[in-house]
Amino acid sequence: MSAASPFDFAPLLPAGLPAPAARWTGLAKYSFVGGNNDPDQVPVDGLIEAVNAVLRREGKTLATYGLASGPQGYRPLREFLTAKLKRDAGIACGADDIMIVSGSLQALDLVNQTLLARGDTVLVEQETYQGALTRLTRLGVNAVGIPLDDRGMRMDALAATLADHKRRGITPKYIYTIPTVQNPTGSILPRARRAEMLKLSQEYGVPIFEDDCYADLIWKGERPPAIYAMSQHGGVIHIGSFSKSIAPALRVGFIVAPWEMMSRMLALKTDAGSGALEQMVLAEYCAPHFAGHVPKLTRGLRAKLDTLMDALNEQFGTAAEFEAPEGGIFLWVKLPDNVDTLKLYQAALAAGVSINPGPEWSTDKAYAGSRLRLCFASPSHEQIREGVAVLAEVCRKEFGVPARIANVEKRVRS
């Protein structure tokens, strides 16, 4: 008797699904991708102490779905966030204005589910978070890019785009911005531009969606107030995360929003609550340790950035253009125009180096075609130096860049 044919699920799949995922083959030997952090900076000992303390004290509460604190998340963590947001971002909110979510990606999904329908328009920074762009594409939403300069989104371009859409009878659903350590450029939107964005938001009736996931990772430790904190009309949704400050794999983010929006998102958060243990451990650890942990983390990240910039200068010379970011975990690099970073990505991966090609992080694919994003947080200093050397050799072989005689030290604005 012959073996039965495998069941064919293909005819049952609905239209519009994303392409199937590839099988996991592990990280590249030299990995400069993703939002990973420095493994040596994860506060393992402090987290172990927090786990033991909170499990002994409250472990039995894991028998329920965290309902003692309500569906918005573990209350001690929300209370920690109210104090942190006031101190660091100028946001005056209470614990009931905050919802804990499973990473900022769930925050993106909840905001989008609440506000967007196929065919809608949103305004985004021309270069922005890949995860936000791919979500908008899957939803059938038109993402209009607003050009950036070295201080973030240009307000003249935002004003012109809003006026143009109004003439055409289109009201965008939101303005999405990463104002503090912008992804991928690393810029910080000045306070004056934040005020101008709020003015335009109110004038055109378009809310602001503020993604502050990287705001803790500023080299100088000071930042402008959050746009949410500056708003007088309540038209701002603010999201943040512990992924960059503590550890990505904890998958803990948060939303701050007016109850009108929070109540709608709560109704859509049908996962029975984000992981309670992670929330409990973070609250236990962060209350006494967060303020001391972050400066140590940023010092280590800044040192790795210096190693990356030195390696690029040594290996690429003037062929790699970049400006030192004001914080964060990534560097936005411009290579000569003949370099196609989508092709470079494939060739580099075959040589053991993974990079983020620029077109995946931009609404203007041609503009970003020769750009790439390098995450420097996860690899060691030695891996950074070795990986950039391999990347330069691949780039030279594929595109003739950098020429061996072009390795001249260049100045980088820090």
274/264 Cα distance (integer angstroms)? 17
Confidence at residue 407, expressed as pLDDT on a 0 to 100 scale: 43
Confidence at residue 411, expressed as pLDDT on a 0 to 100 scale: 43
Confidence at residue 403, expressed as pLDDT on a 0 to 100 scale: 83
* Residues 105 and 278 sit within 8 Å (Cβ to Cβ): no
149's tokens = 């300069």
345/374 Cα distance (integer angstroms)? 11
Rama region for 352: left / alpha / beta (φ>0; ψ in -120 to 50; rest): left
pLDDT in tens, the chain (414 residues): 456 789 999 999 998 788 898 888 888 999 999 889 999 999 999 999 999 999 999 999 988 886 688 899 999 999 999 999 999 999 999 999 999 999 999 999 999 999 999 999 999 999 999 999 999 999 999 999 999 999 999 999 999 999 999 999 999 999 999 999 999 999 999 999 999 999 999 999 999 999 999 999 999 878 999 999 999 888 999 999 999 999 999 999 999 999 999 999 999 999 888 999 999 999 999 999 999 999 999 999 999 999 999 999 999 999 999 999 999 999 999 999 999 999 999 999 999 999 999 999 999 999 999 999 999 999 999 999 999 999 999 999 999 999 864 444 444 444
* Structural domains of the chain ordered from first start: 27-42+292-406 (3.90.1150.10), 44-289 (3.40.640.10)
**In 212-326, which ranges are E strands?**
236-241, 253-256
Residue 140 neighbours by CB under 8 Å, 6+ apart? 118, 119
Confidence at residue 414, expressed as pLDDT on a 0 to 100 scale: 44
For 384-388, which contacts have Cβ atoms below 8 Å and span 24 or more sequence positions? 384/304, 384/307, 384/308, 384/311, 385/307, 385/311, 386/30, 387/29, 387/30, 387/31, 387/32, 387/353, 388/308, 388/311, 388/312, 388/314, 388/315, 388/316
* Residues 285 and 74 sit within 8 Å (Cβ to Cβ): no
